[in-house]
Chains A and B, each alone.
Chain A
Amino acid sequence: MRAAAEKGHTSAASLPGIPRASKLITSAVAAKSEATTSSPSTKPGHEVLLFEALQEGLEEEMEKDPRVCVMGEDVGHYGGSYKVTKGLAEKFGDLRVLDTPIAENSFTGMAIGAAMTGLRPIVEGMNMGFLLLAYNQISNNCGMLHYTSGGQFTIPIVIRGPGGVGRQLGAEHSQRLESYFQSVPGLQMVACSTPYNAKGLMKAAIRSENPVILYEHVLLYNLKERIPDEDYTCCLEKAELVRPGKDVTILTYSRMRHHVLQAAKTLINNGYDPEIIDIISLKPFDLYTIGNSIKKTHRVLIVEECMRTGGIGASLRSSIIDNFWDYLDAPIMCLSSQDVPTPYAGPLEDATVVQPPQIVKAVEQLCQ
């Protein structure tokens, strides 16, 4: 059980700004084999912070295709509230990196109209929570128009922005919208968690003909990683095998990946061998990667930042039961955030999201 501990082990940065160990498993692409896929980063590469990786992806696609444009609040002259669009307005002009007035529903609708007539816009929600104001457009038009028009109009739009619980940002700025949008038919949803997959998913989302929501996390923007110099994308529908193992399958995404990795350090030292999968694609789920893992370990733990009620974990659980019931040796455990508006006070806020000790305990319980 202790076996390949050191080799497959990654030290996580659960606090922003702390660089990760150089030995990395970033098997984002074509994870069909069960063996650890080697790091696709060719050795030179360059180090970036996650927000820079997003910016690189965005800039490269904008250079490649003049129809790609960005719309959002403060994306232009201000460079983006989280610096993802820094420098782009100077380079591409005010129309390609459009500073919008504060009218989420209307400018999201405008982006949809522009996408229908030939452009490829990226809408930035300054905070994902603000996109609640654009729910009408996202659900009715973004998700539905391709269908209700009988396939005539495509909407190659990317909607992105930071969400998740930050550092005492208060309830309204700490929302997780993945659970709210997951039911909308016609949308794809992906969540990035490392600079490598951030850039790859950004590029893939821009190139996709489908409307894609790219979920970023407020606390992950300063993660540092060495990424390849060459052009690459990550598959929008595939999960990422972060660490192979055989005792338990831990399914997670976004910031919780890093909490899981932190918990993994303890677990491995205590003799457990967890298989960690970052699901990446929140909708649709990559049931192949997930299924293969369950067939190996027979135990599932889902660790997510969504609220418990109606969250991604809830959907994932039912998907697994539908497809892999016979392979389970124990009930699926799901660790989610508390069903509470995120409180301001530090200790209370920490208690709303899943922390590494809880993950350790859950695995120990699951593997009894």
Chain B
Amino acid sequence: MLFEDMVLGRSFEDMCAQMYYRGKMFGFVHLYNGQEAVSTGFIKYLKEGDYVCSTYRDHVHALSKGVSARAVMSELFGKATGVCRGQGGSMHMFSKEHGLLGGFAFIGEGIPVALGAAFKTKYEKEVLKNDKADAVTVAFFGDGTCNNGQFFECLNMAALWKLPIIFVVENNLWAIGMSHYRSTSDPEIWKKGPAFGMPGVHVDGMDVLKVREVALESIARARRGEGPTLVECETYRFRGHSLADPDELRKPAEKAHYAARDPIVALKNYLLEHKLADEAELKSIQKKIDDLVEDAVDFADASPLPPRSQLLENVFADPKGFGIGPDGKYRCEDPSFTAGTAQV
């Protein structure tokens, strides 16, 4: 299961790169290659009803959480069948069904949202008196975010109110071209947890089994009501920050060092060594995933682009928010209003 999920993440992202260079998707696309162990290691051990909150590097978090490859690929192509109807794009993946709270372009702005979901669990338990309320929220973000105010403000509130949240730092050492060591006074991020009153753990993010250990422990802790944990995963992205990044600053030696610790290769060797699977099985999983990703591309290709009438449809949950027009009727009562041709 772990292997399959990581292979899905890797294959999907590789396909994204291909599609991008073929002009099927545009804008800023941030790929997750190399970091699969973190996503798989945590998300696969959540249960239904738990929440995940991510950043712009969110395709694989979405896939691990259960959003179908078709829905994600369509969203990337900007089609109406995308998980966000084509309105969000690469950096804004949301899924209410799967508890994916986003998909945020500005770093750090997803952490308070994750905190809110954790707050809701506590509220449900203590105010609404639902004993079964035990949803855990996992917030993923990078090393660059750990210098941002929202990070610290949320660590404080999470520990203060003992919220069921896990802060997972995907420390890949680089914030676009800013090395973690050049921007951070104390680069050991896990140390910042105890400063706020929560355990801080450092784990090898290239090893999915080690990540799993930490994940199980911190998820159980949160579910028991003991509060938040800060987990720093040492990981690496094999590609540039985004598909537009020439990735010239990182030294080849560093890249080679981490390429040798590829989490998928590591798990594969482990499985073969411990005779938990054989080559044929792993090959068939790879094939299955390849087919799945191909199918996702075909589906996305065949899907329609959003029609003009979709333009203003989701601006307000209650479209009365568009107001009352000069004729005395609510603007939303005009069926062509959502095409954006009416004046506000």
* Residue B83 is within 8 A (CB to CB) of chain A in the complex: yes
- How far apart are the CA atoms of A156 and B120 in the complex, in Å? 14
Inter-chain contacts of B97 with A (CB < 8 A): 152
Inter-chain contacts of B327 with A (CB < 8 A): 288
A108 to B, closest residue via Cβ = B112
- How far apart are the CA atoms of A108 and B128 in the complex, in Å? 22
Whether B115 contacts A110 by the Cβ 8 Å rule is yes
9 residue pairs bridging A and B, Cβ less than 8 Å apart: A109-B111, A136-B109, A148-B87, A148-B89, A150-B86, A153-B96, A185-B315, A284-B322, A288-B324
* Residue B1 is within 8 A (CB to CB) of chain A in the complex: no
Q: Write out, one digit per residue, whether chain B residues 31-42 have a CB within 8 A of any chain A CB (1) or not (0).
A: 000000000000
* Residue B85 is within 8 A (CB to CB) of chain A in the complex: yes
Whether B315 contacts A186 by the Cβ 8 Å rule is yes
Inter-chain contacts of B82 with A (CB < 8 A): 150
Whether A119 contacts B120 by the Cβ 8 Å rule is yes
Residues of B within 8 A of A (CB): 51, 53, 82-89, 92, 94-97, 101-106, 109, 111-120, 122-124, 126-128, 149-150, 153-154, 156-157, 160, 313-318, 320-328, 330-331, 343-344
Choose among A93, A100, A101, A145 the residue that contacts B127 (Cβ–Cβ < 8 A). A93
Q: Write out, one digit per residue, whether chain A residues 148-181 have a CB within 8 A of any chain B CB (1) or not (0).
A: 1111111110000000000000000000000000
Inter-chain contacts of A66 with B (CB < 8 A): 127-128
Inter-chain contacts of A100 with B (CB < 8 A): 157
Q: How far is the CB of B165 from chain A (nearest CB, A)?
A: 10
- How far apart are the CA atoms of A149 and B98 in the complex, in Å? 13
Which of B97, B111, B116 has the most chain A CB atoms inside 10 A of its CB? B116
Whether A288 contacts B326 by the Cβ 8 Å rule is yes
Q: How far is the CB of A179 from chain B (nearest CB, A)?
A: 17
Q: Write out, one digit per residue, whether chain A residues 274-293 have a CB within 8 A of any chain B CB (1) or not (0).
A: 00000001011111110100
Inter-chain contacts of B115 with A (CB < 8 A): 106, 109-110, 113
- How far apart are the CA atoms of A288 and B324 in the complex, in Å? 6
Q: Write out, one digit per residue, whether chain A residues 182-215 have a CB within 8 A of any chain B CB (1) or not (0).
A: 0001101000000000000000000011100000
A187 to B, closest residue via Cβ = B321
* Residue A96 is within 8 A (CB to CB) of chain B in the complex: yes
Inter-chain contacts of A141 with B (CB < 8 A): 104, 109, 113
Choose among B87, B92, B103, B117 the residue that contacts A113 (Cβ–Cβ < 8 A). B117
Whether A110 contacts B127 by the Cβ 8 Å rule is no
Choose among A106, A118, A288 the residue that contacts B120 (Cβ–Cβ < 8 A). A118
Whether A152 contacts B321 by the Cβ 8 Å rule is no
- How far apart are the CA atoms of A254 and B85 in the complex, in Å? 39
Whether B154 contacts A106 by the Cβ 8 Å rule is yes
Choose among A95, A106, A146, A286 the residue that contacts B315 (Cβ–Cβ < 8 A). A146
Within 8 A of B (CB), among A28-57: 32
- How far apart are the CA atoms of A119 and B117 in the complex, in Å? 9
Whether A237 contacts B321 by the Cβ 8 Å rule is yes
Which of A107, A151, A289 has the most chain B CB atoms inside 10 A of its CB? A151
- How far apart are the CA atoms of A108 and B97 in the complex, in Å? 24
Q: How far is the CB of B43 from chain A (nearest CB, A)?
A: 17
Inter-chain contacts of B111 with A (CB < 8 A): 106, 109
- How far apart are the CA atoms of A285 and B120 in the complex, in Å? 34
Inter-chain contacts of B118 with A (CB < 8 A): 113
Q: How far is the CB of A148 from chain B (nearest CB, A)?
A: 4
Inter-chain contacts of B116 with A (CB < 8 A): 109-117
Within 8 A of B (CB), among A49-70: 66-67, 69
The 7 closest A-B CB pairs, nearest first, are A113-B116, A109-B112, A284-B323, A150-B85, A149-B94, A150-B84, A113-B113
Whether A149 contacts B324 by the Cβ 8 Å rule is no
